[in-house]
Structure 1
Amino acid sequence: MAEAIRRRGRPRKASPEAPATVQALERALDMLDLLAARPNLTLSEVAERAGQPPSTTHRILHTLASRGMVESDPATQGWNIGPASFRLGSAFMRRSGLVERARPILRGLMEHTGETANLGIPNGDAVLFISQVETTETIRAFFPPGTRSPLHASGIGKALLAFGRPAILDAILSGPGLQRFTDHTLTDPEALRADLARIRHRGFSLDDEEKTRGMRCIAAPVFDLTGEAVAGISVSGPAHRIQPEHVKTLGAAVTAAAAALTEAMGGQPPEPQT
């Protein structure tokens, strides 16, 4: 009997292991990440930082440029994220309606406090900032959408750790160590745990120049309908404006804004722990 003809389609699985990745695609995505973090790099700078030959880098960048994912500035020969990347990012932010619902709340928070208001969501071991309403002050904090900041060294990050699942904190503390950014960064696990306990007690977090010297940030968590912390709202600004005596008042304003967004998203805070 002739062997049955196998239907065309996906190839047979060689093993139950995860499918192999496409190396060329990984390189292209690495370059997109690089340009998102460091705009206006030249082709040779992209090649050096990506660890790829200039010829390979040239082909990848021009392929991405043909789809609008990146673009080159003729004046500087620098490469930047293109409009197609922005459209993809915007589609992600529209997925849950979180950004749209947060926008008026962020604007009201900025107008009430006079400081930049931010919205972030957890992204692995970091916070991903997805929206911001800037203050009109000349000196101000700036976290454009797409910026990432470590959970242990940011206002929103610590709020998410304080009210999030314990496994998230355990995973971070079991890693290679807490990175130090300033002399205020909490790199000792017990010091971080103590700070998170204080955050749970008062309802908001304080980044006291822990990520960037001279900048402070106050944040509170946003909860979904199951009581899980899925986002955070913060105000951030220079330390000379956010003085210690202002923290309690700003904390109350941020907590109220986070509660308003929780309600707008149909969420609820978790039951108090006894």
Structure 2
Amino acid sequence: MSVKSIAVFGGNGFLGRKICEVGVRLGYNVTAFSRSGKPPSNLPPINVPWINKVKWEAADLLDPSSYSSKLSQYDSVVHSVGMLFENQSYKKVANSNFNALRDAQNLANSLKGSNPMAKDSKLTFEAIQRDSAVLLADAFLEAKGPGLEPAFVYISASQKPPFVPERYLTTKREAEFELACKEGLRVIAMRCSFMTEEHSGPNPRSVLGGLVLLGHSVKQNTIGDSLSYVNNLIRPPVSTEQVARTLYEKLESGYSGIVRDEEIAKK
């Protein structure tokens, strides 16, 4: 049997790099597309073996001409690009070495006082989370041709995190709908809850993940699943490893449709 190939757009991001790592572990030929075309930096040496087995390519997701000619060689494509806020400063804070007071102040400073008229039109929820996914899916379908039904994985979300604008979730749902309407494409929508990274050092994301897990445990031990509103509000966190493993299981099983966070959390 030939080796399977996969293209991960956003492959050097928080989840994307784990999808690449697990793909290498499972024997896939993995190509990671990102704006820089470079592997993630500042990772522990243990990551070097799998990083060296990934092909790193530069591409602009909103410009299909930068990647469309390369898509025919892949069995599957993953769209793992998203954002919680349109001001991208929060990403540097969320994954930095942990200093609670400093990071809280930096995050607050990065999000307050932004001028909507000064925003880059390419860095909106609509552009990044919806339009880029639709453009990528169209280019993939055209590259593969009729009758093949290639697999397209979209990293979605189960709910809107606190303090995050509503458009974060609505644009993901709009993307899910538009992708599902495309004939000849096997779409898998991964509705992830808050994600953490296994074996990571202390940082704002890992601390917040611990609080999310604690909140879910308290809910389960007090009211259980009796209140649907609370169930939708307080979701169990998942690790990037759980998301990546579930993604490949769904790819290899021929599944299409929505994958909910409850199923991901069981992996």
TM value normalised by structure 1: 0.24
TM value normalised by structure 2: 0.25
Structure possessing the higher relative contact order (Cα contacts under 8 Å, 6 or more residues apart) = 2
